[in-house]
Structure 1
Amino acid sequence: MKTLSSLRFAMLAAIALSPFGFAQAAIAAPGSVVVPTVPSTGSLSNFPTTSRPSTPSLVVPVYSPSQPARNPVVTTPGQLPPVPTVPPLASPPGVNNPSSSQPFSSGLIYRVVVTNASDMAQQQIKTLVPQAFRTSLNGQSVIQAGVFREQTKAIELQQLLNRNNLQATILPGQASQLPTPSPQVNSPSSQPSTSPLPSVPRTSTVVVIDPGHGGRDPGAVGIGGIRESDVVLDISRQVVSLLKQQGVEAVLTRSRDEEIDLAPRVQFAERANADVFVSIHANSFDASRTDVNGIETYYYSGGSGQSLARLVQNSLVQELGARDRGVKAANFYVIRYTSMPAILVETGFVTGSEDAARLASASGRSRIARAIARGILEYIR
């Protein structure tokens, strides 16, 4: 019996000291498991081993649900995935890369225009934006829906118009940061011509002079804040005065700062039985392009105003020494629907450094008026 007990004791001791380390389960801390180690020999040489071969097993703590799990620690930052970045909003048509969320108090402005300047489009736009008006931009008739200091406001209006099938464009440009124009015009002659105006026989010829825009419609706004509607009204008044001095009956479609639609201007000329119709405007371009200057005169290709347009254009270029942008055919409402010879004169760019200086000065406007009057008198004599 003693032999059997001794044999059992020896077997238990052998098991306790075996490589499987079952005895460690008896001494492991409560709440832990025992991970047996495996010798790195034979086909299992790639199996992970402990750093202490003499230790038969590793005790790994088991975290209870009440213990917060530790965040993994990354020791090599280069292995982290790149932080995702939000791409910038794409610039809307016509906008040249400004930030969409930055307010621009330094003079950057955004004009929202619709290139479809038909009466139907204008009526539709005015139902959305009552202050919208028709104007001329680089010789093209457009409808200006708004001017904003913040790009986001311009985008909102553009999206509103686009949702109503009105293709709106945003035209950015500098306003307050434009260079101040020099009062001297870079032209061969800075003084009005002293040659007398052509004389014409006393006839019943009627000339209607049409100052563009007016009232809530200022037209183009240029360097130093000069407004097209203001400068063309002054020029038109002087043209009428000069024509009357030469015995020509001349009348204005508007004699003060008031808004008149296009159709009433045409109707006025028809009721007056006009022999000649001259609509006077000022041009504009991107506010940052102060190098764009010059005079251009338009006639309707299906009408009889081409010879009148050439005479007035030549008179302006010779009198002012301005850049000659030529005589061009166009479909502007007031020259298309008038039955008499009719032209539309762009007297210069309110956004151009040369032209704006001339338009902003009283002497410059007087020279423009005299040149227009001369061209008209040469046509009717």
Structure 2
Amino acid sequence: MSLTEKALASAEAHSAHNYHPLPVVVATADGAWMTDVEGRRYLDLLAGYSALNFGHGNRRLLDAARAQLERVTLTSRAFHHDRFADFCAQLAELCGMEAVLPMNTGAEAVETAVKTARKWGYRVKGVPDGMAEIIVAAGNFHGRTTTVVSFSTDPEARADYGPYTPGFRIVPYGDLTALAGAMTGNTVAVLLEPIQGEAGVLVPPPGYLAGVRRLTRERNVLFVADEIQSGLGRTGRTFALEHEGVVPDVYLLGKALGGGVVPVSAVVSSAEVLGVFRPGEHGSTFGGNPLACAVALEVIAMLRTGEYQERAAELGDHLHRELGLLAGGDAVTAVRGRGLWAGIDVAPRIGTGREISERLMERGVLVKDTHGSTIRIAPPLVITEEDLDWGLDQLGAVLAG
């Protein structure tokens, strides 16, 4: 039995089957490349669902982590530490906001935003107690906690986890008329992904996000933007909302904020909105820990130069030109995306998204499927054009049969 077969058999026997990973066992990684336990190399075109925007083993991020590991890694929020204030101040500045509430995972950031919006609704807007409503979009993916799956429209994510948390209204993504019709005096927030990632990298119609911003301002409703996947350079801008010149009331950040080194997430907003919390009302033992802050501070410094955003924009244009050529044939029915992020719908006669992903893996390229016939491409922003073209050549070969 090979090393790969042994590892896969052990995982099958001893881990819960809540994931269905491709049968590759990664041992090392650098930049946009990963190497398995047998020494085979693979081009990573997934980048940890955007957690690895800056590539595997980024020297700056690893150096920041190593330096902090020698000093202090955890204090809990019972005490201050010397990286916390800088992290909050610099992240707030990057976002054009005033205050930061740090957590660990993206799902925690979403849960924190739900609590923030409800508390703001009761304390500031004056919504009657227990009546707050949050509007979300069909096809959303904001995590897998019991509250978050309560407003999911994905049966796989939602089934068998009831009773479900009330207080959410679901409207079609991209439909401003439906959004306006769903708003009431009890609406406290609209929670949206500027681009729906898990749904297949769905980009909303032009003007939609600006329209959401206008409606939420008119109705005194918070616009909460889940930029956990779309933010921090992925689309060619620091935030995907920038493509429409929109600034929300609340940013939700995660994934790339920890550079693929440690889990870091944050809710970033105004002092008024985050000022609804008082000591003891919300928290996290690990949220805003020294190691997380040290790595995230380096991420912020890297984003400040604009080089990663520019690289994502330029390579993204190249990516979508090349994918457009594939879409001209009969193997691909649609291509969507922005920057270094794309969703590709494969014609059913060619194979399922899973089958295409497995064929690409055999050719040394790693992607992941979603919703049956769609595969997603989201390489690290550090990928070279040459490597990207090689990966696209493998995709073209697989689609050609």
Q: TM-score w.r.t. structure 1 length?
A: 0.31
Choose between structure 1 and 2: higher helix proportion: 2
Greater RCO, CA 8 A, separation 6+? 2
Q: TM-score w.r.t. structure 2 length?
A: 0.30
Larger radius of gyration: 1
